[in-house]
Amino acid sequence: MTVTAPEPVPVPASVRGRFIVLEGGEGTGKSTQAALLVARIRAAGVPVTAVREPGGTIVGDRVRGLLLDPAHAGLDARAELLLYEASRAELVAAVIRPRLQAGDYVVCDRFTDSTLAYQGYGRGLDLDGIEALNEWATDGLRPELTVLLDLDPLVGVRRATGQGADRLEAEGAEFHARVRAGFLALASGAAHVVVSASASIDEVAAAVWAAVREGDAALVSAPERA
């Protein structure tokens, strides 16, 4: 009789770290809140990596440049979708999955819901098709928690264009309304929390922090205010 060692059990990518995503339209405060959240997690003594989409890798940042260049306003919607997915695949493979496996928390500014909201609900591409591409590009990795920052798109675009408009921000009000409705539809599941982004930066940060700390043993002993 031969005795063979048992096959190693594959460890899910998120078993050690925690993958948290901030979503929402233009100017809802994602980048502002991502920075504050990362600072709070770090202050709690938990290792954390901050990333954003599109970009976050050398190739991804070049793809980001292509996507946000106003000179590419006529880009075909399917080509645009595939560029987002290419950036995402590289970010997941090169940064997010390895950092989670190393035990980091990962905070990502936009992820798969943005693609569904903009390319699906906004531009009208087939949602099931986008879902399949999201699944493929991420190799099945999903956020443990997605915090949706919800805001009237007119307020958001006004906030954002204070910093200069890019191609996406130049879209019409109806498009942004569809995107907002899409984000809200996607946020009905258990892995999502909706935070109203119309309050002050500090108030929104407190709501985001409460959502992230909820049920998290590593963070629950951390101070309510960093």
Ligand X SMILES: Nc1ncnc2c1ncn2[C@@H]1O[C@H](COP(=O)(O)OP(=O)(O)O)[C@@H](O)[C@H]1O
Pattern 146-175, binding to ligand X, x per CB under 6 A? -------------xx-xx------------
Binder to ligand X among 17, 27, 60, 143 (CB under 6 A)?
A: 27
Kindly tell me the number of DSSP H helices and DSSP E strands found in the chain: 9, 5
Provide the β-strand partners of residue 49: 106
Rounded to an integer, what distance in angstroms lies between the CA atom of residue 97 and that of residue 63? 20
Least Cβ distance, residue 84 to ligand X (angstroms): 16
Amino acid code (one letter) for 224? E
Rounded to an integer, what distance in angstroms lies between the CA atom of residue 62 and that of residue 215? 38
Kindly report the length of the chain: 226
Q: Which stretch binds ligand X (CB under 6 A): 3-11, 25-33, 91-99, 177-185?
A: 25-33
Q: Which of 225, 212, 165 is nearest to 26 (CA)?
A: 165
Least Cβ distance, residue 136 to ligand X (angstroms): 26
Least Cβ distance, residue 64 to Mg ion (angstroms): 11
Binder to ligand X among 17, 29, 56, 60 (CB under 6 A)?
A: 29
Binder to ligand X among 21, 28, 57, 96 (CB under 6 A)?
A: 28
* Residue that has been written with the tokens 């405060």 in this structure: 29
Given ligand X, Mg ion, none, residue 27, with its beta carbon under 5 to 8 Å by kind, binds ligand X
